[in-house]
Amino acid sequence: MDHGRPDEKTIAAAVALACRAPSVHNTQPWRWRVGDRSVHLYADPSRQLPATDPRGADLLLSCGAALHHLRVALAALGWRAVVHRLPNPADPDHLAAIEFVRREPTDADVAMAAAIPRRHTDRRRFSSWDVPRPVLDLLAERAIEEGSLAHEVVGTRDRFELATAIGKAAAVQDADPAYRSEAHRWSGGHANLDGVPAANAPSGVPQHGDVQLREFPGGELIDKLAGEWADDGASLLVLATSSDDRLSVLRAGEAMSAVLLEATAAGLATCPLSQPLEVAETRDRVRADVLDGTSCPQILLRVGWAAFNADPLPPTPRRPLTDLIDQWETT
């Protein structure tokens, strides 16, 4: 078995793909350190959103998604990632140490990596077509492989409870001046290297059937189906874990990445929804009334077919690797 390490160009390419991972408000709250035989993922606490994400759960989920993106990228480049999660109890920001084993990439590895640059958070209304059951079953399998459950929200009661929790969370946050200031800081930009650009955020409060999405001030995205009252065909998935500790949240971020990339490879549009889980009252409501108290909700995902005439979404900006990678002389 050949352990060793990829060359610098391979590592840079893999980390660049990892940094395409979704993150709360596109904060990109991660840093990478490269050693002789390993790469290390660190959380960047300076990029936590205190009003939006007081628990730091969104930050951990975002970093978990980046970790899974890195694993996918390395697999396509001929390396299996051996991941040691939360390796240093003395440093809670040290989220993972990644070592490498050579392996031959499969067609599936390449297909997942190819989905990374094609995945975008699409906050527009989806078409009326339902997501096929075999695809939903596959997404559930991907979540399970990463230690999470994908609970599909169906039925009038569960949909009502979830929609009510989403609306309540939005009202609580919108009543907080600190949250409103934070939302303005991280949205509506045109040339920033982070945040949610105006071109990727619908104007006003997106309301798709019974589901309300987060409002990003300054949004300019044209939704060609906006104003149509018919429900779209999006499926709603709650990714949940048996525990709510840091490791569980990090693994839920990896599961989120796995589901989003599999959905993208299948041609679907996706949109993570974290708002109802950022407020304690509504997070408890989702756990009790949607999950029947059996597991801990970590993130909601809308999955569906983009509208037939929807314009391609522009890629959201990313910070340069020179700002995100520290070189180590020794591990």
pLDDT on residue 222: 83
Sheet holding 235-241, edge to edge: 149-152, 235-241, 296-304, 269-273
Nearest CA to 302 out of 323, 331, 330, 275 is that of 275
Render pLDDT for 148-167 as a digit per residue (tens, 0 to 9): 999 999 989 999 999 999 99
pLDDT on residue 127: 92
Low-confidence ranges of the chain (pLDDT < 50): 1, 329-331
Which domains does the chain carry?
8-119 (3.40.109.10), 133-304 (3.40.109.10)
pLDDT on residue 329: 47
Entry pTM: 0.96
- Cβ contact 37:331 at 8 Å: yes
Tell me how far apart the terminal alpha carbons of the chain are, to the nearest angstrom: 20
Render pLDDT for 26-77 as a digit per residue (tens, 0 to 9): 999 999 999 888 999 999 999 999 999 999 999 999 999 999 999 999 999 9
Beta strands, E only, the chain:
30-34, 39-43, 79-85, 94-102, 149-152, 187-189, 196-197, 207-208, 211-212, 235-241, 269-273, 296-304, 325-327
pLDDT on residue 328: 55
pLDDT on residue 308: 84
Residues 6 or more apart in contact with residue 169 via CB below 8 angstroms: 275, 276, 277, 278, 279, 281, 282
pLDDT on residue 172: 98
For 176, how many CA atoms within 13 A lie in the half-sphere containing its CB? 16
Cβ atoms within 10 Å of 118's Cβ, excluding its own: 13
